[in-house]
Structure 1
Amino acid sequence: MNTHTLSAALVTNRAPLNFRRAGAWLLGVLLLGAAWNRAPAADEPFDFETLRYRARMLAAKPYVAPASRVPEWLLKLSYDEHRRIRFDPAHSWWRRERLPFELQFFHPGFIIKNTVQISEIRRGEPTLIKFDPELFIYDRLERGEIPGTMGFAGFKILYPMNKPGDELGAFQGASYFRLLCQKAIYGLSARGLALNTAEPGGEEFPTFTDFWIERPEPHAKSITLYALLDSPSVAGAYRFVITPGADTVAHVKAALFFRKQVTTVGLAPLTSMFWHGENTNTQTDDFRPEVHDSDGLMLFTGAGEWLWRPVTNPTAVRVAAFSDERPRGFGLLQRDRNFENYQDLEAAYHSRPSAWVEPIGNWGAGSVRLVEIPTPDETNDNIVAFWTPRDVPPVGEPLVYEYRLHWFTEQIHPPAGYTVSTRHGRTKTHEPELERFHLDFAGPYLNNQSADPAIEPVVTVGDGAKLAHATVQKNPFNGTWRVAFAIRPDGSGRPVELRCFLRKSPHVLTETWSYLWQP
């Protein structure tokens, strides 16, 4: 796999954070230290340290791929046959007790041959939830024998965010999970861990093999669950404390123990889909103007810079690395919330959530990596973003870290202006050899500001092209500010890094727009 690795330089001319959770920003401690060596006593309640010890013991042994417990007749089901197996809502876990959260389980079969074991924790004591066919509706399928030890394909969490029976989230497949906030539908996914993403030799997908879920109290506003992760290279312990709302927040704590050195460790990975949008002009024969779960990567660096990188559907795999130290946040966002720009009543891409990673403590030096993979349609997740630390502990030493993972539709924005659209193309009549970019910036100050000649665009063009000209003007129709600039390629065919922000000296008025133009 040929990838083009980029390095995005950082600047330090950004305003301080102005976020509704700023008072809680950077709480906690990132611990990169010695392993916890004491085995838990038999009568101690189950908690994160119990699971951390189990992960450490697991990593000390050679990896053993789990054998499938799924009967052959289930694996021979067709896609449509497997879909006919449905969880019976009447058997939702904790429904009879009228608890605020409920669980439903996914049935193995078809291509799902690996299962997870799920336990309920009550007063610190875990009890396995055994697979029971009575939990499911088989819709006239001829049912074969099913062992009680089979386990489940995953589970979903219900919570009345908008109305009773709403889905809060689901954990299913490898270490993937998705959460929802109020007024949102499922979109991008998160993962527990990414290993060797876009590296030669292929990616390794660690798997959550076991879950423990605390029984919620009658008036609980959060639900806590634990997960054991395993793969050929690493074993890990995870704790999720999930609080639903307009901003659904998962407080994640993890401890990783590596069996061997890994080329690329991806912490807090996010996975999304981008087929086409306003910044692409490829022919798709699609009736919808835009189709994507996320339209950009946003970063808030340790140096105080806000940066926006529109994502795209490239012609070849691309990897961008944004070097940083003590990162304050990053995420894949769906900024465009205008239905008119999607025209899809079924998929409702304008209602897909954004996800934002808020590190807790000092994550040290490393980089946020953005991987963009070509996709021919909307059925493939082709965008990945994660933090890769510069220094990973040696084999046997723990990597312990924490973060808050926000899911929302009401956007997190920089305190100053931000990019609302990116358009790219050429003209056929005037200077057709130039590549042209039109960027629209918005924000409270900019939208209320009348035309001002002191506001200027600052455009930086990397190797492979030269800036031909740049202008900025107030858009009288919607209050935004449009930067129009053109670059002249040097004919080398090299990808060109572009950056732009608005300035009214000495003040920076917007985030930094960052883009890779591929000849």
Structure 2
Amino acid sequence: MNEFEANGCDIPASAMHADRRLAVTIRSRPANRAPATMSAAGSGSSRSGQGRRRERPTRSTRTLSPLDTTMRSWTLPLRRPATRRYCLCAVLLFCLGYLAATVAANAQFGFDDVADQAKKLAGEPFKPPPAVPDFLTRVSYDEYRDIRFDSARSLWKDVGGKFQVQLIHPGLFYRNAVAIHTSDGSGVSKVPFSPKLFTYGRNTFADKIPADLGFAGFRVAYPLHKKEDYNHVLVFAGASYFRAVAKNEVFGLSARGLAIDTGLPSGEEFPFFKEFWLERPARDATVMKIYALLDSQRVTGAYEFTLRPGIRTVVDVKATLFERKRAKELGIAPLTSMFLYGEERPRPAGEWRPEVHDSDGLMIQAVTGEWIWRPLVNPERLLVSYFELESPRGFGLLQRDRSFHGYEDLEARYELRPNAWITPLGSWGKGQVKLLEIPSQKESNDNIVAYWIPHTLPQVGQPIDIAYRIHFQSDEPIDASSGRATATRVGTGDTDGSKRIVIDFDGGKLKELPATAPVKAVITMGQDGQLVHQTAFKNSVTGGWRLAFQVKPPKDKALELRAFLKHDKDAVTETWSYRLTP
């Protein structure tokens, strides 16, 4: 506890005087400025609650003591000895100067401070981040797991609040160190690295750890289940990756700060967070703010993350990007996940688990309200899909299959992996949701990527302002009245070269519709495909409806398919979307 804290205020004890007090109201400098905002697509539209508008200054009454209480009126007698007037003026000047210094010291660090750094950084040549010592990157997985943070040294543990922060040691996959700071009303403090913050288990290299190594990232802990138990709810570690979970979930898919040229022949550029500022929450706070500075060869950026843990953990993201050079493709709000195999194909030889994946589908909501569901696949070669949209309401990667028996894995618990749903804050204009499905043979590889690509961007050098909300949750964002495609199975059709596709739809109004209801399927496909047969009927086991159809795709080309069910003139399910590959 420092001298300021010991006195319960922001005035040093040395400035206090026992028998003289003056009540002074101080306006603290607001954290944010108010420039106009611009969407990632350059639409220039404002966002509710997301512009960089200053909040109303707050008032706090502090007690000072260098002056006599008779000075509260700030008036001087008409006749005073000159020496006393001079002394009084000197004291006044000292007081005003001290107050100005106090206000500056208590200025709240915020998003605009990081944005200023990002803008300055964009005007400088790119410098690769310093690498950690080679011996740390060569450790085995088990050796790295033996390095553990001492939870007794968690940031803010002594405060007794709801948030604690635990630090991550560099090594193995984490080849670069980042700087971490904390901020509060008294200023910004860098968190110093020390090997004493960690235990190294059976490892013998503890004496070789540099004293100024730095950190790989951090974990935020919060009492999700019980007041006395702190659970990890958010993790920042590696490049611009971060993950979060809600109550009763286990970590699964990741979000990223930015994707650059992902899946392009020129190769992907991986931006990284090089510096973090953790805003210390009040003791009873249920919200925490994190600021981050992003850097890469062509892009810099300032980020603000607002974390709200709970049944649904929500992370609000606000960012301002600056391009050093124009990237071929900027991916906004990128999500990364894993899909090894599901029910749409026979399981690989030797595998005992029915399915293995962190997510099993891409969900999109168009501005029209249409819900689009794209089941994921593990392709034989890179598969890239684009969904043209204007001002989408949202998109995300979901884990729709929530049955333990769909996975039978007591350790991985894939049925508890979170969904991640992106909601734009403000209009994003015209663009595309891009989905990349990458061939993979291991469940340790993230092979699914989805993000938004704006059609237009400001000129290089101009800021790109973006804002969105990520919902980490087990339930789905889709309207409860709409039926969902809960299973997709693909097999061989009855005619040469044809494919049989069986889709089970459940939920919404489907259970209320009797088997005699006039439910029809609407199937569309690329011009090179041929619909051979179709039928839709009540599923007597689930109470939902099953659509089965056969299609003959072209021999050497992929075929895009879309289907939904309608009752009378109304759609009663989401739109199922799929790509058949040769």
TM-score w.r.t. the length of structure 2 is 0.80
Matched-pair contact (CA < 8 Å) for 1:455–1:503: yes
Find the partner of 1:88 among 133, 150, 162.
150
CA 1:281 to 1:145, structure 2 compared with 1: closer, same or farther past 3 Å?
Answer: closer
2: distance between equivalents of 1:30 and 1:101? 24
CA 1:452 to 1:125, structure 2 compared with 1: closer, same or farther past 3 Å?
Answer: farther
Could you say what secondary structure the match of 2:207 adopts? coil
1: distance between equivalents of 2:331 and 2:369? 22
1: distance between equivalents of 2:163 and 2:128? 33
Counterpart of 2:189?
127
One-letter code of the match for 2:580?
A: W
CA 1:71 to 1:518, structure 2 compared with 1: closer, same or farther past 3 Å?
Answer: closer
Deviations 1:366-391 (A, max 9, x none): 00000000001211000000001001
1:323 and 2:385 equivalent?
no
Counterpart of 2:198?
136
Find the partner of 1:421 among 471, 487, 511.
487
Find the partner of 2:575 among 498, 512, 517.
512
1: distance between equivalents of 2:239 and 2:462? 24
Could you say what secondary structure the match of 1:350 adopts? helix
Deviations 1:179-203 (A, max 9, x none): 0001100110000000000001210
Find the partner of 2:179 among 108, 113, 117.
117
Could you say what secondary structure the match of 1:65 adopts? coil
Could you say what secondary structure the match of 1:212 adopts? strand
Within a 5 Å distance, the mapping from 1:460-471 to structure 2 comes to: 460-471=524-535
Counterpart of 2:29?
none
Matched-pair contact (CA < 8 Å) for 2:517–2:567: no
2: distance between equivalents of 1:31 and 1:98? 33
One-letter code of the match for 2:547?
A: V
One-letter code of the match for 2:412?
A: A
Matched-pair contact (CA < 8 Å) for 2:111–2:291: yes
Could you say what secondary structure the match of 1:444 adopts? coil
Within a 5 Å distance, the mapping from 1:180-259 to structure 2 comes to: 180-259=245-324
Counterpart of 1:157?
220
Matched-pair contact (CA < 8 Å) for 2:506–2:542: no
CA 1:468 to 1:72, structure 2 compared with 1: closer, same or farther past 3 Å?
Answer: closer
Shift of 1:462: 1.2
2: distance between equivalents of 1:240 and 1:111? 24
Deviations 1:121-141 (A, max 9, x none): 111621000002221112253
Shift of 1:402: 0.5
Find the partner of 1:28 among 48, 63, 85.
48
Matched-pair contact (CA < 8 Å) for 1:223–1:241: yes
Could you say what secondary structure the match of 2:351 adopts? coil
2: distance between equivalents of 1:482 and 1:380? 33
CA 1:124 to 1:297, structure 2 compared with 1: closer, same or farther past 3 Å?
Answer: farther
CA 1:286 to 1:102, structure 2 compared with 1: closer, same or farther past 3 Å?
Answer: same
2: distance between equivalents of 1:124 and 1:272? 40
Counterpart of 1:476?
540
Matched-pair contact (CA < 8 Å) for 1:353–1:407: yes
Counterpart of 1:54?
117
CA 1:377 to 1:110, structure 2 compared with 1: closer, same or farther past 3 Å?
Answer: closer
One-letter code of the match for 2:368?
A: A
2: distance between equivalents of 1:146 and 1:182? 36
Shift of 1:103: 0.6
One-letter code of the match for 2:161?
A: L
Matched-pair contact (CA < 8 Å) for 1:463–1:497: no
Matched-pair contact (CA < 8 Å) for 1:30–1:400: no
CA 1:153 to 1:263, structure 2 compared with 1: closer, same or farther past 3 Å?
Answer: same
Find the partner of 1:372 among 425, 437, 447.
437
Counterpart of 2:41?
none
1:450 and 2:470 equivalent?
no
2: distance between equivalents of 1:92 and 1:243? 19
Could you say what secondary structure the match of 1:150 adopts? coil
One-letter code of the match for 1:418?
A: R
CA 1:315 to 1:77, structure 2 compared with 1: closer, same or farther past 3 Å?
Answer: closer
2: distance between equivalents of 1:393 and 1:150? 38
Could you say what secondary structure the match of 1:58 adopts? helix
Deviations 1:290-347 (A, max 9, x none): 1000000000012321100001000110110101111110000000101111111111
TM-score w.r.t. the length of structure 1 is 0.89
Counterpart of 1:437?
501
User: Which protein has greater RCO, CA pairs closer than 8 Å, 6+ apart?
Assistant: 1
Could you say what secondary structure the match of 2:264 adopts? coil
2: distance between equivalents of 1:324 and 1:76? 45
Matched-pair contact (CA < 8 Å) for 2:50–2:318: no
Gaps of 5+ in 1: 1-25, 33-40
Deviations 1:125-182 (A, max 9, x none): 2100000222111225332244443210110010111231211011000000000001
Deviations 1:265-285 (A, max 9, x none): 000000000000011236342
Counterpart of 1:296?
361
1: distance between equivalents of 2:137 and 2:561? 49
Shift of 1:106: 0.8
Matched-pair contact (CA < 8 Å) for 2:347–2:355: no
Could you say what secondary structure the match of 1:90 adopts? helix
1:275 and 2:337 equivalent?
no
1: distance between equivalents of 2:459 and 2:295? 17
Relative to structure 2, which stretch is displaced further, 434-443 or 379-388? Answer: 434-443
1: distance between equivalents of 2:127 and 2:180? 20
Matched-pair contact (CA < 8 Å) for 2:553–2:580: no
Report the number of matched residues.
482
